Amino acid sequence: MKSATLLAFVASILLSVPVKSQDIGGGRTYVLVHGARSSIAAWYQLEPLLSDDGNRVYLASLTGHGIRRHLQSPDVDLETHILDVVNLIEVRDLTNIYLVGSSYGGMVITGVWDRARERIKHIVYVDAFIPKDGEAVSDLNGEGALERLKSQAAGHNGLLISTGRRASLPNPPSQSLMTMIQPISFTNGPLPEETLRTYIRAIGNDQQEPSRTFAQFAEQVRDDPDWNYFEIETGHGVARDDPAGLAQILLGLD
């Protein structure tokens, strides 16, 4: 009976020790943030390529999109999406994160970088916005963008409705106007200089032209020694156009 009691006591001690998800296995931790009028499906081809060698990959689903599209509302804003990702990181207790954002996702990951700065090892912009404190998508999308966005949302209860190819989908994605016009706000001061930074610019190919919107950000960082800069021959949807090429870049980062 004494040995059984001792074993039970040892087991209780072991079970009471908190084990973080990061402590199980090796590898890196990637958090992927999709763009506007998109969903985690944008990463489905990339995810298994990053998951090799024990890497952990988390697909952040933004409120109002994909599996959370039933929560779409004109009240959803940039702050909502930033908190979506911050909460994922905190609930899973993730650290040393490779935080990756595509397109509009660049707005989101910049806010997450500010809020969870001690948890981010490397931030990666994939043909994405790089906002400064106080800037919104409407400030970075060309002259007259604010008026165009408001006009597009008029009559749609504050939502931007899909057009073109996306409009033909069974559940056409929408985007709250507020996510486009709410300025980002850094709550913890200047972003930390020690965070590793990478920009991946989609330069187009024979079938697709590059997005002119994101050329400005590529020019900002191309020759900056504090940034890694890569170009990939795809259209704006990098993860779908060339998941293997994108995975090669992401897996090769420090």
Tens-digit pLDDT string for the chain (254 aa)? 444 444 343 333 333 333 333 444 469 999 999 999 999 999 999 999 999 889 999 999 999 999 999 999 999 999 999 999 999 999 999 999 999 999 999 999 999 999 999 999 999 999 999 999 999 999 999 999 999 999 999 999 999 998 766 655 656 689 999 999 999 999 999 999 999 999 999 999 999 999 999 999 999 999 999 999 999 999 999 999 999 999 999 999 99
CA distance 50 to 33: 14
DSSP state of 22: G
Identify the pLDDT of residue 162.
81
pTM of structure:
0.89
Show the tokens assigned to 3: 């040995």
Show the tokens assigned to 131: 């906002």
Identify the pLDDT of residue 53.
80
DSSP state of 2: H
Question: Would you say how long the chain is, in residues?
Answer: 254
Q: Where are the domains of the chain?
A: 26-251
CA distance 135 to 203: 25
Identify the pLDDT of residue 153.
96
| Amino acid occupying residue 35 | G
CA distance 14 to 79: 40
Domain 26-251 is found in CATH 3.40.50.1820: yes
CA distance 248 to 187: 34
Does an H or E element contain 146, and which? Answer: helix 145-153
